[in-house]
Structure 1
């Protein structure tokens, strides 16, 4: 999300070691998706986009597609409740969240359990900003990150993000992974701080995702301000973005350098059998001059950026554990524009979503129920539909029946907004009752919870 505007599920069974999902009963014969039920249904086999897709990624996608198709058929469906976690803010920003002071990584992943007794069914982690530090770096030099400078201040969160992702998929704590001791803790090299991942019962607990808040290619400092268009070379040079996507240019080499950092970390997760919902270049339909450096561009140029990123990760780096998520900003006509022209195409996208900050439960945008304009607007893409970012839980006092009218496959709450948002205003965004209502709903899937197989026939 743009701060200027401010915010596994435990599927049936897990194979030992690799933590691969057991069959979910949601398979469709390749090439038959939608054939018997009309064109409105979404494909259910990830191999239609990536023939080499990893088994776990295929099963996760088939699960999401099955839930979507249930909703499209008018059958009862369910929504995976997600929580975005800004590890860099939890670790290094004492002003972040619902109390003053730095927090252990995964604070807001665990916070949902503290309130409701249940964990999120999905956690999305940020990767990108180094909290204002120069260059790409890591906290601890590991097998997958040895190429990058290590023991750098404010970079330890990157290892925490990878460890938390493995732990949510396979169970926490895990003495055998990373540098964590049997206690589930480790000492950060640069600061000496004792760091502990949250305990989630020691079993596979949910799905995981990454968003890539990428500072502009070539930025000497890797921080959130460098993700914004106004601080990028593109603000003063209209030709800069085109050079980023032009092979052989210095700007393009800078882009590939950034993508290598992302791919090294995603590659470790691939080796551990962890499927990742990857959400790069979100809110690309923001009005020109606002939002991120990739936003508000000429649509064909943005599509080139997405496709070359896809080619680098999947074809050059061989990452077949990825489920690609495309999430425009809510297209309210002011901050966000109609997103259709920015869609990279079904060969490059598995899930479609919206970052919804244009309305609130008390004041929905447009006609219909809260979020309905975005839900209906994404229907034609024939992909599972999600709320990729929201300040609000879906079920609250103002909108207690949101998911009955708009049965989103997944709904992710942004970071600290679960309990408190001190960016827009010092006030609580979701009441405790709202969070309990959502996590306690029979229509919502939470972490560690066995999931029924979504139907295909």
Structure 2
């Protein structure tokens, strides 16, 4: 999300702005857990391996040892497939275009890709593009819904490799026929072997929305904009609004369950940017913190306890708390028993004009240190290493850094300061501090070295 930068006194104290080179970690800091079973005793072995990798990188960083950062790329499949105005050329894109784009520029693929099962593309109700075994509860073969199957297939393809043996609606070649349009759709090949791990965000339209699309995710278009009691009913069992919420979560759980059946672990990042100013951002944002925590916990209970999904790694990611668009997020934290990874969506400042007076992203990195969890840069328009900030990962060794969608190669705010150059992308993917898909197989076998 975007917001004008305004200095916030709560995050600009001397302790936060002390250079990392001379800053000492607090005495007796809480230890970062290395086994996902501290939160979920039934966590799958694959999810445990991914979490152990992230925890190991975080522990190295906190102890001042040489550390590395997994480079990630968010992929907006609904925009790639259906929005001709999206991206760096006019016309619709094949699914996974911005996953492949990193290789087009650098010869390497990211080791992490985040996808999105919401928000839909302006069509009535939840639907799917193919009649999958897990999707029988939803209307099948609807226009503008095939991207959801592309999302789960690309997720499997990261974990298991593309092209691969026939799986779901995809042939070994990695292509399938879109049932709504009859056109051939192809996912990008990545060598046919495990090439990384995957995350999902869920830009969920407000519960009960008749149309599913990005406008319906926003607070100003939700019933909560006119009815202050609406959000309370969403989180109250027995109400119609709560029933609508559970239906939405059922759509999410069916897709995540398919991935669980395929052995694919998922970093799940729900209800992000919850700390935006009241009345702005998503329908779940700017709420009373206790009510937000209730939403998170009932979602957790639905997915893990009711649906039995133990392939999930839960990521809590507020918006950068710049004092203008983003407020201090601490009261929104759902608790260590419901969160595995903490992050930030950083659209405050830029490499040329960092926010906070210290190194670029340092305010957010330091702020999240209070949590004994791996820290990630969950969304950024920028690659971490660029002409303005060639030492970002030395000052702030995030364990994972994800570039948002088309921002990898396109100026999506029409401002030069928001553009990654080809040299920036090559500098990042070629850095010894950055982990790409090339090293994935050896990393996942021995995540703690």
Normalised-by-shorter TM-score class: over 0.9
Alpha carbons 1:390, 1:412 under 8 Å: kept = yes
Unpaired runs of 5+ residues, structure 2, are: 5-26
Alpha carbons 2:99, 2:113 under 8 Å: kept = yes
| Distance change in 2, residues 1:146/1:423 (3 Å) | farther
Aligned match of 1:100:
90
- Of 342, 350, 355, 2:340 maps to 350
Write the distance in 1 (CA, Å) between the matches of 2:191 and 2:223.
47
Aligned match of 1:44:
34
Q: Does 1:245 align with 2:223?
A: no
Alpha carbons 1:127, 1:210 under 8 Å: kept = yes
Write the distance in 2 (CA, Å) between the matches of 1:311 and 1:267.
15
Write the distance in 2 (CA, Å) between the matches of 1:388 and 1:401.
19
Larger deviation, residues 47-56 vs 171-180: 171-180
Aligned match of 1:55:
45
Write the distance in 1 (CA, Å) between the matches of 2:45 and 2:323.
40
Alpha carbons 2:381, 2:418 under 8 Å: kept = no
How far residue 192 of structure 1 moved from its aligned partner, in angstroms, is 1.4
Unpaired runs of 5+ residues, structure 1, are: 6-36
Aligned match of 2:383:
393
**Regions of 4+ moved over 4 Å:** 423-428, 450-456
- Of 144, 150, 163, 1:160 maps to 150
Deviation digits for residues 86-108 of structure 1 (CA, Å, limit 9, x no counterpart): 00000000000000000100000
Q: Find the residue that maps to 1:68 and give its secondary structure.
A: helix
Deviation digits for residues 116-143 of structure 1 (CA, Å, limit 9, x no counterpart): 0100010000111220001000000101
How far residue 40 of structure 1 moved from its aligned partner, in angstroms, is 3.8
Alpha carbons 1:40, 1:72 under 8 Å: kept = no
Aligned match of 1:185:
175
Deviation digits for residues 11-51 of structure 1 (CA, Å, limit 9, x no counterpart): xxxxxxxxxxxxxxxxxxxxxxxxxx943431111111001
Aligned match of 1:332:
322
TM-score normalised to the size of structure 2? 0.92
Q: Find the residue that maps to 1:392 and give its secondary structure.
A: coil
Deviation digits for residues 57-104 of structure 1 (CA, Å, limit 9, x no counterpart): 011101100100000000001000000000000000000000000010
Q: Does 1:431 align with 2:428?
A: no
How far residue 428 of structure 1 moved from its aligned partner, in angstroms, is 6.7
Larger deviation, residues 428-437 vs 229-238: 428-437
How far residue 178 of structure 1 moved from its aligned partner, in angstroms, is 1.4
**Match runs of 1:127-206 below 5 Å:** 127-206=117-196
Q: Find the residue that maps to 2:94 and give its secondary structure.
A: coil
Q: Does 1:308 align with 2:295?
A: no
Aligned-CA RMSD value: 1.5
Write the distance in 2 (CA, Å) between the matches of 1:336 and 1:316.
33
Aligned match of 1:72:
62
| Distance change in 2, residues 1:311/1:424 (3 Å) | farther
Aligned match of 1:10:
none
How far residue 175 of structure 1 moved from its aligned partner, in angstroms, is 3.7
Q: Find the residue that maps to 2:423 and give its secondary structure.
A: helix
- Of 220, 233, 252, 2:210 maps to 220
Write the distance in 1 (CA, Å) between the matches of 2:411 and 2:169.
32
